[in-house]
Amino acid sequence: QSVLTQPPSASGTPGQRVTISCSGSSSNIGSNTVNWYQQLPGTAPKLLIYNNGQRPSGVPDRFSGSKSGTSGSLAISGLQSEDEADYYCAAWDDSLKGILFGGGTKLTVL
Amino acid sequence: EVQLMESGGGLEQPGGSLRLSCAASEFTFSSYGMSWVRQAPGKGLEWVSTISGGGGSTYYADSVKGRFTVSRDNSKNTLYLQMSSLRAEDTAVYYCAKAQSGSYVWLDKWGQGTLVTVSS
């Protein structure tokens, strides 16, 4: 079964650096890009990182992404209160022929 | 500015049908793949379906295959999702999203969502 696994929660204090992991398999992250979405409370998701580590225009460089093998990682440096949101990884799955989303990670800024 | 606006959500009984629409503006609609993504109340994101820019290629999640049909009218800049044989577990906010050139997964613009509730 194709699945992307994320920790359900993460937390940090303002100014800290936090990372969120996303574990997949050869049919998804292993052969395609890993991407990240941010969903602020009550709003639609927003593309945060695409193509493993690229940022769309307007996304601060505090956000960075990386990929290694069948896993991806999102790092947020200089944590701010407005970063409190749900974060989802996503990848195309060659077996399913569709988009897989991770279960989401709720980030709390303490 | 790129805009996507969903409509057509509402309350429907189990076994019923609904058609969602997504009106697009301020970009060359026919040049981009489009997707539907849903989110059940309090849950995570679930991909539903993707259609290529020309409409010739379509993809579906196993959970909706055979019940939902994605289509687009490029002359009207509109994306559709025809949903039939609705189940309680289809209850969710349905978002349409535009794919960036290069990958269907790079969903760079999203609508505000429309709520579908399946209940008797």
Q: How many CB atoms sit inside 10 A of residue B94's CB?
A: 23
The residue type of B17 is S
CB contact under 8 A, A99 and B47: yes
**Which of A27, A33, A93, A99 to probe by mutation at the B interface, max B CB count within 10 Å?**
A99
Q: Which of A39, A32, A105, A45 is nearest to A75 (CA)?
A: A105
Instruction: List, for residues B8-58, the tens digit of each pLDDT value.
Output: 999 999 999 999 999 999 999 999 999 999 999 999 999 999 999 999 999
Rounded to the nearest angstrom, the minimum Cα separation between A60 and chain B is 16
Residue whose pair of structure tokens reads 């695409």 in the numeric block = A50
CB contact under 8 A, B102 and A92: no
Interval A5-23 mean pLDDT: 98
Contacts of A88 in chain B (CB under 8 A): 44-45
Given a contact cutoff of 8 angstroms between Cβ atoms, the answer to whether A63 and A49 are in contact is: yes
Q: Phi/psi at B63 (nearest 5 deg)?
A: -65, -15
Given a contact cutoff of 8 angstroms between Cβ atoms, the answer to whether A103 and B44 are in contact is: yes
Q: Give yes or no for residue A2 having a pLDDT over 80.
A: no
CB contact under 8 A, A99 and B106: no
Instruction: List, for residues A73-99, the tens digit of each pLDDT value.
Output: 999 999 999 999 999 999 999 999 999
